[in-house]
Amino acid sequence: MQQKLFNKDYLLIVQGNAISAIGDVLYSVAIGYWVFAKTGSTTLMGIMSSISLFVVMFISPLAGSMIDKIDRKFIIVGMDVLRGIIMLAVSYLAYQGILEVPFVLIAAFLAALAAVFFSPAISTTLLDVIPHDDMVQGQSIQGTITSLINLAGKTFSGVLVVFFGVPLIIFINGISYFLSALTEVFIKVPPTKQQSNKIELKKIAGDLKLALKDIFSDPYLKIFIPFAIIVNFLGAGTGTMLLPFVMSKGYSVDYYGYITAIETLASLLVVVVLSVVKFKAKTRYYMMSAGFIGSSLVYIIGFLSNDFVLMAVSFFLGSLLNAVGNAIFNAALMLSLPNVNRGAIIGFVQSASTGGSALSSVAYGVICDIVPIVLVFVFSSILIVIPMAMMCLNKNTKEFVLHN
């Protein structure tokens, strides 16, 4: 355990993540624009977006258990190098004018597979390089830097795609992964207690079985897991289809960048306020309920509007309210988890949320090819209020927030 927060290993991790995050933000906009411009199909956009989500859904519970038994530094550096190679290959195909949708889908799958192992490896390493007393500050600093990069990247991503073109943006993403891997080579990653243990499927299956038992015996988790699936299924697709939605209003890809930047700014403000101001338990409950229910209603105004300013304001407020609800709910959820088998339980919670988002991406893609995208967005926002209200008004939910 390090003795100070700003030690070499922590700074290298933050720096490496920041470099690759810049490329990721630009790439996500560039490749989404390329697919929609080439095919005009929201179905293909939905499939492309869902690939990484399905990988996380099915693999993350297994990956979390396996990471503890593997050299984490090898995983961290290796997965960044692998993603860099993938991005350079896609960039080359785009420069040659021979990039096709199947190649993009394969690249998305391979990159997602690398990310699902990289994420728990870097997260658990952070726990080892940040002093216990500085854990909140250390994670907040990293989260703030990532949010600021997302904010800046999303603000200018649309303009950069138009100015530089898709191939160069993808090339920059590939280089960012190699630069990130180069800094990570110098990180001192301590071995875990299980690192020398063999990876046994029987043991992993036992961990997952125990996690499921804990979830369904918990009065709160057995409510929240289905809630996460339903809400993400009804709502996550709007984020996936945001680019074609903005373009359907007659605006170009750079305006899409402005909208996503506005949403990121709202989320960042919530993180800053909640990290500074400590609210009473009852106040947190009402803030969470108002955030979850109010966000969908506010978003409807933006979906129906053709005025960009009004659209931007409603998206800002909707994102802000949603971030308030999620921040309070997630904090209470983390505090309520048992110490035993916590990683596997978190994996199942993430799988439930991601699974709903993955199914939503596919469903929205197909439906938006058939039904006007504005009607789909408005109807889903109205529909999502029902499970939101049912969960927030449940007495177990109130008790859960008040006690955590």
Output 361 or 65, whichever has higher pLDDT. 361
Label residue 304 by pLDDT band (50, 70, 90).
very high
DSSP state of 132: G
pLDDT(375) > 90: yes
Label residue 91 by pLDDT band (50, 70, 90).
very high
pLDDT(367) > 60: yes
Identity of the residue numbered 62:
L
Quick one: average pLDDT of 122-140? Answer: 70
Q: Is 49 in contact with 362 (CB distance < 8 Å)?
A: no
Neighbours of 193 (CB within 10 A): 8
pLDDT(343) > 60: no
Q: Is 30 in contact with 157 (CB distance < 8 Å)?
A: yes
Q: Is 389 in contact with 293 (CB distance < 8 Å)?
A: yes
DSSP state of 394: S
Quick one: average pLDDT of 282-306? Answer: 90
Six-digit token pair at 139?
């994670």
Six-digit token pair at 25?
């933000």
Six-digit token pair at 135?
């854990």
Label residue 302 by pLDDT band (50, 70, 90).
very high
- Listed in sequence order, the DSSP H helices in 96-220 are 101-129, 135-164, 166-184, 201-217
* CA dist., res. 373 & res. 389, Å (int): 25
Q: Is 242 in contact with 260 (CB distance < 8 Å)?
A: yes
pLDDT(268) > 90: no
Q: What pLDDT score does 194 carry?
A: 57
* CA dist., res. 88 & res. 78, Å (int): 15
Domains of the chain: 1-188 (1.20.1250.20), 210-404 (1.20.1250.20)
Q: Is 224 in contact with 334 (CB distance < 8 Å)?
A: no
Task: Look at 40-44, 150-154, 183-187, 262-266 and tell me which has the smallest mean pLDDT.
Answer: 150-154
H or E segment to which residue 366 belongs: helix 342-368
* CA dist., res. 179 & res. 156, Å (int): 22
Question: Mean pLDDT for the chain?
Answer: 80
pLDDT(122) > 70: yes
